[in-house]
Amino acid sequence: MCMREIPAFDTGEFIASKRAHPFDPFAHDYGKYRRKYVEDIRHYAQNTAIFEPHAIFEKLTALELGHIVWADLPPNFEERFDIPRRHDHGVDSVDLGFTQTAQAKFYQSTGSRINYTDMCTFSTYSTILLGITDMVLATTHTAKLSAMAGTVCRNASIDVRRYDYDTLLRTYGGGDALPNQTPGPPIVSLLPDRRDYQSDACRVIRE
């Protein structure tokens, strides 16, 4: 019985094919993402908008790394990487050149622990589906890694970077984050004044 030889998986060739057509103009317009994230962080810091702390931490670490968050992926992302959907599988941010991924884990409790499944999911999605081997785990100083998670980080060369949340918030939520710009006013939804004919129409409907 003749067995068909299966060619070896060439990681380098795979990565090269994925980067053959860069995302333009996205690769040249990181400034708009930076402005958006800084404005969101400022509103959060000034209590003029509501965000989950973990979502703010993702944007803070994205700014530190020069990344965009997962929700801001270019529209042709699935087509380029041949992925059926863009559901978040552990990758929280990526650079516009698609050379580095990051997972942000905002854990403040001393009892919190980053587990094996978290790291396996992140590293598999990054390397196998995106062809990216430069990976960062962005977390807090208090977060702990399980023994197995730590082994995955070492064996997969995941760079563990620890940040102080309050320091990042002061850095990007203060007045120096965007030079020559001032924080925007609170976002308030106001209904326009009705004209006479509109008021008459509403009265007729109610009657």
* Whole-number pLDDT of residue 147: 96
* Whole-number pLDDT of residue 127: 94
Phi first, then psi: give them for residue 24, nearest 5 degrees: -105, 140
Closest to 59 (Cα-Cα) out of 47, 46, 72: 72
46-88 pLDDT, tens digit each: 888 889 999 999 999 999 999 999 999 888 888 888 887 777 7
Distance in angstroms (rounded) separating the CA atoms of residues 89 and 170: 30
Phi first, then psi: give them for residue 113, nearest 5 degrees: -145, 130
